[in-house]
């Protein structure tokens, strides 16, 4: 039994790490499509993702359960509205990410996905009435200091990073609220998006400006492959998340932005000064504290700190009363 659990956890780490590794090297893929407009790449990404996911559902014999879930969702206006909003959020996120990569803002995309967990916590506090622990609050304040420092370093507001973090944070929040499986949700989102993607591509090709050709050119193959590179990490992540505790996923999720940061600095030579490094170190410090916040040692230490603060306040109150 113990061996089986260890084997399941090892498989889970492999699946989840594989997902984050693929997400991390995704900028390289979009750079290969730099000659194609970001919105056209997005349209193809949506269409080929839907086709790829449909094939996966057929191969795994999950098409019938998917159709049953879709019929159930169509009878619930709140869930349908949720799907429409998550579709808008994921398309905004995908478009901005593709655009940012090809406009040499890979480091900003990395920053966006570093701070995304903190944004998710903040959204949980406002919308789900979740409580922020002492360590999470400290981590959040460190992240604010780091982002503020980066803003000064860039000389401009890091809107790419924050828009990516907020759009993906809202996407995650809505997915949690409407409670739809990841594969089902993404298949529905790409299906809804296909209506607009096909209309846009029809217009582009009628004007003779489309990058997609009937011949098997490298650009055409890369556009078709956008479906696989989108869906494969999600499938791996879903397999990993089922086998792993949340805190392990919390650590692994930083693989992706770390790879993005390395690509931005060393492969694509985006500006990264000592000031940028200091700001990122502050953010990393906040993220480490955030990831460890639920560990028993820090939870126990937090309780002792709170008790000590309460005692000090009680003593001060008695003194004031005298």
- What is the tens place of the pLDDT at every residue in 139-149? 888 888 888 88
**Predicted pLDDT at 296:** 63
Print the SS3 string covering 97-145.
Answer: HHHHHHCCCHHHHHHHHHHHHHHHHHHHHHHCCCCCCHHHHHHHHHHHH
The model's confidence at residue 9, banded by pLDDT at 50, 70 and 90, is: confident
- E strands, the chain, are none
**Predicted pLDDT at 10:** 82
Give CA–CA dist 12/193, Å, rounded.
31
The DSSP string of 238-275 is: HHHHTTS-HHHHHHHTTHHHHHHHHIIIIIS-----HH
Q: Report how many domains make up the chain.
A: 1
Give CA–CA dist 231/94, Å, rounded.
13
Q: For residue 233, what are the CA distances in angstroms to 15, 16, 236, 280?
A: 9, 8, 5, 26
Per-residue pLDDT, averaged over 193-207, amounts to: 93
Instruction: Yes or no: say if 240 and 12 are a contact pair by the CB < 8 Å rule.
Output: yes
Per-residue pLDDT, averaged over 68-95, amounts to: 90
For helices 159-178 and 182-206, the axis angle rounded to 10 degrees is 130
**Predicted pLDDT at 94:** 96
Residues 6+ apart with CB under 8 A from 315: none
Residue 165 per-residue DSSP state: H
Residues 6+ apart with CB under 8 A from 57: 63, 66, 183, 187
CB atoms within 10 A of CB 181: 15
Stronger pLDDT, 243 or 275, i.e. the higher one: 275
Q: What is the pTM of this model?
A: 0.87
State the residue for tokens 């997609």.
Answer: 212
**Predicted pLDDT at 84:** 92
pLDDT over threshold 90, residue 115: no
Q: Is the dihedral of CA 170, 11, 299, 282 positive or negative?
A: negative
Is residue 42 left, alpha or beta, with left meaning phi > 0 and alpha meaning psi from -120 to 50?
Answer: alpha
pLDDT over threshold 80, residue 154: no
Per-residue pLDDT, averaged over 242-258, amounts to: 79
Lowest-confidence segment of 23-27, 144-148, 177-181 by average pLDDT: 177-181
Instruction: Yes or no: say if 122 and 170 are a contact pair by the CB < 8 Å rule.
Output: no
Closest to 187 measured CA to CA, from 50, 87, 18, 88: 50
Stronger pLDDT, 259 or 289, i.e. the higher one: 259
The model's confidence at residue 322, banded by pLDDT at 50, 70 and 90, is: low
The model's confidence at residue 321, banded by pLDDT at 50, 70 and 90, is: low
**Predicted pLDDT at 37:** 94
Per-residue pLDDT, averaged over 33-58, amounts to: 94
Per-residue pLDDT, averaged over 9-24, amounts to: 90
- Separate counts of helices (H) and strands (E) for the chain: 14, 0
Stronger pLDDT, 150 or 102, i.e. the higher one: 102
**Predicted pLDDT at 5:** 65
Per-residue pLDDT, averaged over 265-275, amounts to: 91
Instruction: Yes or no: say if 146 and 282 are a contact pair by the CB < 8 Å rule.
Output: yes
Give CA–CA dist 321/314, Å, rounded.
11
Per-residue pLDDT, averaged over 103-114, amounts to: 93
Domain span at 276: 2-321
Per-residue pLDDT, averaged over 53-60, amounts to: 91
Stronger pLDDT, 225 or 246, i.e. the higher one: 225
Question: Burial level of 220, CB count in 10 A (0-12/13-18/19+)?
Answer: middle
Stronger pLDDT, 93 or 133, i.e. the higher one: 93
pLDDT over threshold 90, residue 99: yes
**Predicted pLDDT at 295:** 64
pLDDT over threshold 70, residue 299: no
């Amino acid at each position: 039994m113990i061996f089986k659990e260890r084997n399941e956890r090892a498989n889970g780490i492999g699946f989840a790490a594989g997902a984050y590794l693929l997400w991390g090297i995704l900028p390289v893929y979009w750079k290969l499509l730099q000659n194609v407009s970001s919105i056209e790449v997005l349209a193809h990404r949506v269409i080929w993702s839907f086709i790829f996911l449909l094939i996966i559902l057929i191969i795994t014999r999950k098409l019938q359960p998917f159709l049953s879930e879709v019929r159930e969702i169509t009878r619930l206006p709140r869930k349908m509205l949720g799907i429409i909003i998550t579709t808008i959020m994921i398309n905004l996120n995908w478009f901005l990410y593709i655009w940012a990569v090809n406009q040499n803002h890979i480091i900003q995309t990395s920053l966006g996905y570093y701070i995304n967990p903190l944004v998710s916590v903040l959204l949980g506090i406002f919308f789900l009435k979740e409580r922020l622990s002492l360590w999470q609050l400290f981590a959040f304040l460190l992240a604010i200091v780091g982002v503020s420092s980066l803003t000064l370093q860039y000389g401009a507001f890091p809107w790419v990073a924050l828009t990516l973090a907020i759009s993906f944070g809202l996407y995650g929040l809505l997915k949690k609220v409407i409670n739809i499986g990841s594969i089902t949700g993404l298949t529905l989102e790409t299906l809804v998006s296909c209506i607009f993607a096909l209309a846009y591509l029809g217009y582009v090709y009628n004007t003779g400006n489309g990058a997609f050709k009937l011949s098997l050119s490298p650009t055409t193959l890369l556009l078709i492959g956008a479906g696989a590179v989108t869906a494969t990490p999600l499938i791996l992540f879903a397999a990993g998340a089922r086998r792993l505790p949340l805190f392990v996923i919390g650590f692994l999720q930083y693989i992706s932005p770390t790879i993005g940061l390395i690509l931005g600095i060393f492969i694509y030579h985006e500006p990264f000064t000592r000031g940028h490094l200091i700001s990122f170190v502050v953010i990393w410090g906040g993220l480490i504290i955030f990831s460890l916040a639920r560990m028993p040692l820090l939870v126990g230490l937090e309780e002792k700190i709170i008790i000590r603060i309460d005692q000090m306040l009680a003593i001060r109150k008695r003194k004031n009363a005298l």
